[in-house]
Amino acid sequence: MSVIKYRPPNAPFHIAILGRSGVGKSSLCNLIRNLTSEHTNFAPVGVIETTGIPTCYKLIDNVFMWDVPGVATPSVSKEDYCKLIDINRYDMFLILSRGRFTEIDRWLSDIVRDRFNKTLFFIRTGIDEELRNHRRDYPTNFNSIEVLDIIRNNCLKNLETSLSKTNLSLYLINTKDKTKFDFSKLINDIMVHVNHERDNLMLTLIKEDPTEQIIQSSISSTNTTLQTAKTIVTTWARFGLVSYLYDRYYK
């Protein structure tokens, strides 16, 4: 079974930061918002798990970033994860990974691509540490460009499928330093994506059953279900019913 999620233009836009515990989700949330531990809105970070429930932070007007718990920990299992974080709430997903690519990274990526058919923003963190380790292991032949290419190609190899080749954005970053690697490109791409989606009427067909055939979330003439929904919403909009229902039941 699938459900249709409707988000009117200019409605609140929600970004989720997903990933295993300890990959730097809270640190990235702070870095994007340019906050240090002295600010009251600083997302707690630490050497142990610090995020127990999904926590919302304002990014810009009408755009909110959610720091969610890490998956596959003693307190958060894969089976309960989507329900715990209320995954249908979000309009955009940033998936963080650190170290070698894992089954959890693949699982989260497949949820974003297959269930929501959203662009996958996959972010590999801890790049400074990777470079330091490689320099220590191979001091004579160390080449930072080659190491970055190895990391990037490995991520792409594990992520690319027939679906994701045109639906994948990959970034290598350090969650403590915005001046390095792909951070500036990441921020720019996030804002371009947010501005495009939040200002347009969006109908997303969300798969409740992961075994269902993949269905595009963009409105196309080949998708009867979304075309029907689009017709209904457009008709209602002429009489002001969409904004009424949104104000009445969503806000």
Please write the tens of the pLDDT for every residue from 42-85: 786 754 455 668 889 999 888 999 998 888 777 778 888 888 88
Average pLDDT over residues 238-248: 45
Per-residue confidence (pLDDT) for residue 9, from 0 to 100:
67
Task: Write the burial class of residue 158 (CB in 10 Å: 0-12 exposed, 13-18 middle, 19+ buried).
Answer: middle
Q: Which CATH class is domain 12-200?
A: alpha beta
Tell me: pLDDT of 251 over 90.
no
Average pLDDT over residues 85-104: 90
> Distance (Å, rounded) from C-alpha 62 to C-alpha 130?
36
Tell me: pLDDT of 156 over 60.
yes
Q: How many other C-beta atoms can be found within 10 angstroms of the C-beta atom of residue 135?
A: 14
Structural tokens at position 123: 């972010």
Provide the pLDDT confidence category of residue 151 given band limits of 50, 70 and 90.
very high
Structural tokens at position 176: 């403590």
DSSP code string of 25-58: HHHHHHHHTT--TTSTTPPP--SS----S-EEEE
Per-residue confidence (pLDDT) for residue 227, from 0 to 100:
53
**Domain residue spans of the chain:** 12-200
Of 201 and 145, the one with more pLDDT: 145
Q: What is the pLDDT of residues 164-216, one digit of tens each?
A: 555 778 999 998 889 999 999 999 999 998 888 776 656 555 555 544 444 44
> Distance (Å, rounded) from C-alpha 159 to C-alpha 176?
25
Tell me: pLDDT of 140 over 90.
yes
Structural tokens at position 35: 């906050």
Q: What is the pLDDT of residues 18-33, one digit of tens each?
A: 998 888 888 899 899 9
Average pLDDT over residues 81-96: 88
CB 108 within 8 A of CB 133: no
> Distance (Å, rounded) from C-alpha 208 to C-alpha 89?
14
pTM of the model: 0.75
